[in-house]
Chains A and B, each alone.
Chain A
Amino acid sequence: MKPVSIKYILVESFNNIVRNKVLFITSIFTVCVTILLMGVVGILLMNVSYNSDTMMEEMLNITVYVIPEADEKTLNDVQDVLINDPHVADIKYISQLEAYEASKELVGEEIMEELGHDFLPASFIVKLDDVTYANIFVRKMVAMSNIYEVKYSSEAYERAGSISYTIRYVCGILTGLLGVLSLFLISNTIKITVSTSKEEVTIMRYIGASEARIKAPFYLQGGFIGFLGAIISFIIAGFGYNYIYTRLEGSLSEYIGAMELVPVSQMLLVLLGVFMLYGIVLGILGSFFAIRKYLKA
């Protein structure tokens, strides 16, 4: 069998579009609105996630206190264990003297002098790269004989984990719902195109056109609707985000503490990729459902 002619598929897709141009424009518009809605939700969630990451970084410090009588070898052993842990992102060593100096400022020089400079244990401030690993890490450190105490805010960890989970959960549900809506709309458009091309399809089958040749223009049309919807949404969302970023950046921290927005370039890159992928996949999938139902061989 001769290969499917690209020219034929392109021409037929174009003809389908011209034949149903009002419907085509309506579909692009609806897909565009859906992707934009998803984009707005995505932009919000990305910013929340971006800031929660920053906040989590601040919160997720674990302090590992070594026994006060520890010698240099013991300290080196503990340091080795920390360095070799794959989830440890950063380590900061606080010597007994540094702890003593810091405490002097807090509780007063007289009291600290009475206690002596070797009263406080040396410690390591550890940052992990994975929130969910915290409990395992703490248990591992506590089990070591030369560790005096491990301090961390389990509540902060749990809260951070819960924020992260909620963001993913909400994002997943909204994206799913909007996706179903888009699928329905695209599928409906292709269904109408298929029904207006029914006679043509029947003749094609009688003449001996392969199923791939019959169906390809409809898939292309669906993909094209998704693609155009994604491009328009990207332009609108991109300009919109740039405008908001320019207006709010700098002044935002005055109202909401250390909150800052995801940089425009970073956001645009994510939006372009996600919108394109989402639009095209939705378009093709929408076509698939319509073709499967209304273009049975």
Chain B
Amino acid sequence: MIDFNNVSMIYKSGTEALHGVNFHIDPGEFVFITGKSGSGKSTIIKLLMREERQTSGDIFVNGYDLFNLSRYDLPHYRRRLGVVFQDCRLLMNKTVYQNIEFAMEIIGESNRTIKQVVPKLLHMVDLEGKEKSFPDELAGGEQARVALARAIANAPDILIADEPTGNLDPKTSVEIVDLLYKVNQLGTTVLVVTHDTRIVDRLQQRVIRLQGGKIASDTEGSIYENEACEY
């Protein structure tokens, strides 16, 4: 599903963000990518979103060769990804319902499908009754839930969450990570970029740890029991 083969990334400024990174993620896996600031986590997301192109190596996702992805194929590729951003990036002038509806509308889903799917998503993320609220009327955790509902609205194959609990209290973080796990259990491959040790420990899933642009470890279960202070 996701293949990074000897991927290196050097930005125009000369900063080497990744150096010879190799990993493979199977369909349906739940993977944490962790590491300190500047370790290359964000670069991996940028490469996966095809915001940037690697300097060398190959990246294959869902059968797409990301380096050679044409401008025409880019939207097709991105439709198979769902992304939850740390700052949620909700549209403030749209209600909760409209934010989710928007994601489906812009890829051409019919009104009928939208009316069927959005209430189910709101139920899943426990936001029933908040349909008509605007994002700035919601708490941080609720905003994160809307962002998650929007990310999975088009039933993506891969869900990428970039620091999804970054601005949340411990209790809300647990709720969000449980929701991510729920999505994974429904068959979606989930990739969570985080430095939040609590959520990594809670789920005991595969963890790819980056250090200085290289993979320091790729293990199952928590890696923090002995090195939590590092983060």
Name A residues whose Cβ lies closer than 8 Å to a Cβ of B.
1-5, 8, 19, 199-200, 202-211, 213-214, 297
Contacts and interface: CB of A to CB of B under 8 A. Distances in A.
A8 B78 contact: no
Interface class of chain B by DSSP: loop
B107 interface: yes
Question: Which applies to chain A's interface (DSSP): helix, strand, loop or mixed?
Answer: helix
Interface of B: 49, 71, 74-81, 83, 89, 91, 93, 102-103, 105-109, 154
Given A5-B105, A208-B107, A203 B91 contact: yes
B78 A205 contact: yes
Give the interface centre of A1, A3, A19 by most chain B CB atoms within 10 Å. Answer: A1
A205 B76 CA distance: 11
B224 to A, nearest CB: 30
A32 to B, nearest CB: 29
Nearest to A297: B71
Nearest to B49: A206
A172 B106 CA distance: 42
Contacts of A4: 108
A211 B76 CA distance: 11
A225 B91 CA distance: 26
Contacts of A203: 89, 91, 102-103
A5 B77 CA distance: 20
Given A199-B89, A203-B89, A203-B91, A208 B105 contact: no
A207 B78 contact: yes
A56 B125 CA distance: 81
Contacts of B77: 208
B180 to A, nearest CB: 18
Contacts of A214: 106
A13 B69 CA distance: 30
A99 B15 CA distance: 98
